[in-house]
C-alpha cells in the first residue's frame, strides 16, 4: 500500500471518512512547501540572495547530499538506516584519485570505484540481513572502516589535475540553466526512485516491510533480499556521489564529505520519512533538501559561523523526529475521545430489549 504522510501519520479508514475538508492541506509535504517559501523569504532579506549565483551555489552544495539521501530514504522506510553513506563517498573519492594518479584511465577508474561501492553496500546488507545485526551499529562500524581505508590509501595526500572536461561541473552550470550538474542527476534519480517507490510492487513491499515486518514475511515478501539490495543500491549511489564530489572540487582527499551523514539523515527525516519505518515520500525528501540548501546558503551569505549552521541542521533533525510523534499522540487521544462519545448502533439488542427475553 502507498503510505500517506499527513504530518507523518497514517489514518485508519474509519477516521478518514470523518476527515475535515482541510486535512489534505495538513500533509507533511504541504508543510514543507510552506517552510520552503518561508526560507526563501528569510533568504530574500539577505542582500543579493535572489540571484542566479545563489541558485547555482544552492544546487552545487546540496547535489551530492540529495543524491545520497534517495537510497537512504528507501532504507529508512524499511525500518533500517545507513550511516556509512558519507564515508563511502570519501572512500570513492580517495580511490578514484589514487587510481588516476597511478595511470588508470579515468573511466575505468570510475567503474572500479562503482564496484567498490557495490561491495561496501553488500557488506552492510550482509551483516544486517544474514547475521541479523542492528543496522545502526553495522553502519557506524562501516562508517569508520570506509574512512579508515580511505586514509590508508592517500593519507594526507591530495590528488588534483583531473580532466578539465569533467571538473567543469564544479564551476559551470548545466547549459541554459543556473543549476549545477549534480542537480540534473538528482532530478533523474528522484523520478526513478519515486516511480519505483510509489507505483510498483517493490515500493509497496518496502512500505509493508517498514510497517509490519512479520506480516511482510507471511505475505511472501522476501524481506531480507529487498533490504540487502537496498544496501547494495546505497553503496552504488554513494560511490557515484563520490565521483561527482571529486570532479566538482577537482580534488580527491580521504576526508571528502566528512560529516555529511548528518545532513543526509536530517534531509530524509525532515522530508517526512518516519524513523520507525513505513512512511515517507521521495517528493518530501527532495523538498527537504531544497529547504536545507536555501537556509544554509542564506546563513552563509550572512557570514554565520559554520557551527551555527550545524546547529540549524540539528534542530531540523530533532523537529522532524519529535513533531510527528507529538501529532500522533494528540491524534490518538482525539480519536479515542471521539469513540467514547460515539453512541452504540441503534440496531444492536440491549439487555432490556424484550426480544432478548423470549422464551
Residue 341: how many CA atoms within 13 Å on its side-chain side?
6
Q: How far apart are CA 305 and CA 316, in angstroms?
A: 17
| Residue 329 lies inside a defined structural domain of this protein | yes
* Per-residue pLDDT at 23: 53
Q: At residue 25, does pLDDT exceed 70?
A: no
CB 143 within 8 A of CB 259: no
CB atoms within 10 A of CB 302: 14
Task: State the greatest distance between any 2 C-alpha atoms of the chain, in Å, as a whole number.
Answer: 98
Q: At residue 121, does pLDDT exceed 90?
A: yes
| Residue 282 lies inside a defined structural domain of this protein | yes
Residues spanned by the domain of 302:
26-334
* Per-residue pLDDT at 311: 87
CB 310 within 8 A of CB 289: no
| Residue 77 lies inside a defined structural domain of this protein | yes
| Residue 154 lies inside a defined structural domain of this protein | yes
pLDDT tens digits along 150-170: 999 998 899 998 999 999 888
More confident residue, 224 or 46: 224
| Residue 45 lies inside a defined structural domain of this protein | yes
Q: Which CATH number covers residue 147?
A: 1.10.3470
CA distances from 247 to 59, 95, 159 (A): 15, 13, 11
* Per-residue pLDDT at 27: 80
| DSSP 8-state secondary structure symbol assigned to residue 252 | B
Q: At residue 83, does pLDDT exceed 60?
A: yes
More confident residue, 124 or 353: 124
* Per-residue pLDDT at 100: 96
Q: Which residues make Cβ contacts (< 8 Å) with residue 144, sequence separation at least 6?
A: 87
Quick check: helix, strand or coil at residue 10? coil
Q: At residue 349, does pLDDT exceed 80?
A: no
Rounded mean pLDDT, 87-106: 96
Q: At residue 42, does pLDDT exceed 70?
A: yes
Q: At residue 17, does pLDDT exceed 80?
A: no
Among 230, 228, 232, smallest CA distance to 129 is for: 228
Burial of residue 133 (CB within 10 Å: 0-12, 13-18, 19+) is middle
| Residue 256 lies inside a defined structural domain of this protein | yes
> If pLDDT is split at 50, 70 and 90, which confidence band does 26 have?
low
pLDDT tens digits along 169-202: 888 899 989 899 999 999 999 999 999 999 999 9
CB atoms within 10 A of CB 208: 21
Rounded mean pLDDT, 324-348: 72
* Per-residue pLDDT at 245: 96
Q: How far apart are CA 8 and CA 321, in angstroms?
A: 10
pLDDT tens digits along 224-274: 999 999 999 999 999 999 999 999 999 999 999 999 999 999 999 999 999
More confident residue, 198 or 53: 198
CB 98 within 8 A of CB 153: yes
* Per-residue pLDDT at 319: 84
> If pLDDT is split at 50, 70 and 90, which confidence band does 346 have?
low
* Per-residue pLDDT at 22: 47
| Residue 163 lies inside a defined structural domain of this protein | yes
* Per-residue pLDDT at 359: 44
Which of 73-87, 207-221, 340-354 shows the lowest per-residue confidence on average (mean pLDDT)?
340-354
Which of 18-32, 96-110, 134-148, 267-281 shows the lowest per-residue confidence on average (mean pLDDT)?
18-32
Among 55, 64, 31, 1, smallest CA distance to 272 is for: 31
* Per-residue pLDDT at 255: 94
CB 142 within 8 A of CB 102: no
CB atoms within 10 A of CB 89: 33
Residue 26: how many CA atoms within 13 Å on its side-chain side?
14
Helix, strand, coil percentages for the chain (3-state, nearest 5): 70, 0, 30
For 53-107, the DSSP string reads HHHHHHHHHHHHHHHHHHHHHHHHHTT-----HHHHHHHHHHHHHHHHHTT--HH
Domains contained in the chain, number: 1
Residue 73: how many CA atoms within 13 Å on its side-chain side?
31
pTM: 0.85
Which of 28-37, 99-108, 131-140, 252-261 shows the lowest per-residue confidence on average (mean pLDDT)?
28-37
| Residue 8 lies inside a defined structural domain of this protein | no
Which of 48-52, 62-66, 219-223 shows the lowest per-residue confidence on average (mean pLDDT)?
48-52
Amino acid at each position: 500500500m502507498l503510505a500517506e504522510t499527513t504530518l507523518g501519520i497514517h489514518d485508519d479508514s474509519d477516521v478518514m471518512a470523518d476527515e475535515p475538508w482541510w486535512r489534505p492541506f495538513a500533509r507533511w509535504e504541504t508543510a514543507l512547501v510552506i517552510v520552503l517559501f518561508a526560507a526563501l523569504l528569510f533568504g530574500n532579506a539577505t542582500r543579493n540572495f535572489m540571484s542566479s549565483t545563489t541558485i547555482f551555489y544552492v544546487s552545487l552544495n546540496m547535489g551530492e547530499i540529495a543524491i545520497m539521501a534517495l537510497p537512504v530514504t528507501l532504507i529508512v522506510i524499511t525500518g533500517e538506516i545507513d550511516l556509512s553513506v558519507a564515508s563511502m563517498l570519501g572512500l570513492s573519492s580517495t580511490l578514484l584519485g589514487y587510481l588516476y594518479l597511478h595511470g588508470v584511465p579515468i573511466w575505468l577508474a570510475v567503474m572500479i570505484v562503482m564496484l567498490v561501492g557495490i561491495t561496501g553496500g553488500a557488506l552492510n546488507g550482509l551483516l544486517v540481513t544474514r547475521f541479523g545485526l542492528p543496522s545502526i551499529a553495522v553502519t557506524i562500524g562501516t562508517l569508520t572502516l570506509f574512512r579508515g581505508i580511505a586514509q590508508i590509501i592517500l593519507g594526507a595526500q591530495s590528488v588534483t589535475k583531473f580532466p578539465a572536461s569533467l571538473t567543469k561541473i564544479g564551476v559551470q552550470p548545466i547549459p541554459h540553466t543556473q543549476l549545477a550538474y549534480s542537480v540534473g542527476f538528482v532530478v533523474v534519480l528522484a523520478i526513478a526512485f519515486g516511480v519505483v517507490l510509489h507505483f510498483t510492487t517493490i515500493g509497496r513491499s518496502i512500505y509493508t516491510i517498514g510497517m509490519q515486518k512479520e506480516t511482510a514475511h507471511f505475505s511472501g515478501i522476501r524481506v531480507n533480499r529487498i533490504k540487502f539490495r537496498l544496501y547494495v543500491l546505497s553503496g552504488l549511489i554513494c560511490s557515484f556521489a563520490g565521483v561527482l564530489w571529486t570532479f566538482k572540487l577537482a580534488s580527491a582527499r580521504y576526508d571528502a564529505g566528512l560529516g555529511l551523514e548528518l545532513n543526509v539523515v536530517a534531509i530524509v527525516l525532515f522530508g517526512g520519512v518516519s524513523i520507525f519505518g513505513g512512511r515517507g515520500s521521495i517528493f518530501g525528501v527532495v523538498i527537504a533538501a531544497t529547504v536545507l540548501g536555501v537556509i544554509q546558503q542564506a546563513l552563509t551569505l550572512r557570514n554565520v559561523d559554520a557551527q551555527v549552521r550545524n546547529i540549524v541542521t540539528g534542530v531540523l533533525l530533532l523537529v522532524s523526529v519529535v513533531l510527528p510523534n507529538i501529532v500522533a499522540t494528540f491524534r490518538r487521544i482525539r480519536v479515542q475521545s471521539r469513540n467514547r462519545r460515539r453512541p452504540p448502533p441503534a440496531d444492536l439488542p440491549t439487555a432490556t430489549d424484550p426480544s432478548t427475553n423470549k422464551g
